[in-house]
Amino acid sequence: MEFKGTTIICVKKDNVVALGGDGQVTLGNTVVKSKAKKIRKLYNDKVIVGFAGATADAFTLFEKLEDKLNEYAGNLTRAAVELAKEWRTDKILRRLEALLIAADKDTMYLISGNGDVLTPDENICAIGSGGNYAYAAAKALLKYSNLDAKGIVEESLKIASSICIYTNDNIVIETLGE
């Protein structure tokens, strides 16, 4: 599932997790907003989450994830699995069109409505129409630069915004572990 309209990337380096996204919202071929905030901190600022997809759907999923985090005392793994199960099986939720990246200081997940709760093989996860561009940039920067996690996310998003027409350079980044 790929969404036109955003780039979200998460990187972990040296016990710091950074999750960032661009601010562009498109409707078809038209930019309708350039400074949207697609990144949130949840559960007393211990979890960061970002979305690609339909905005209202993502906000619903943010609320559901926060409910699950509260229900499972901040256990992101359990909350992510339970959210994915509910998202896949609930008649209303299964119509929601979005992807989420959620991370705490220890774990990082890509969560989908297909029931996926995926941990990346590397300390990088990206979604959205510019996700592959940002991922490739982050992979190189992680290996060949001295940038910290936040710097890698920022530069990766700038690179993606220079390639993907659905991504802009109004960047919002949240971190954990600094």
Active-site residue list = 6
d(CA 133, CA 138): 9
DSSP 121: S
- Beta carbons of 8 and 25 less than 8 angstroms apart: no
Alpha helices in the chain (DSSP H): 55-71, 76-89, 131-144, 149-163
Alpha carbon of 47 to those of 50, 68, 95, 170: distances in Å? 10, 12, 25, 22
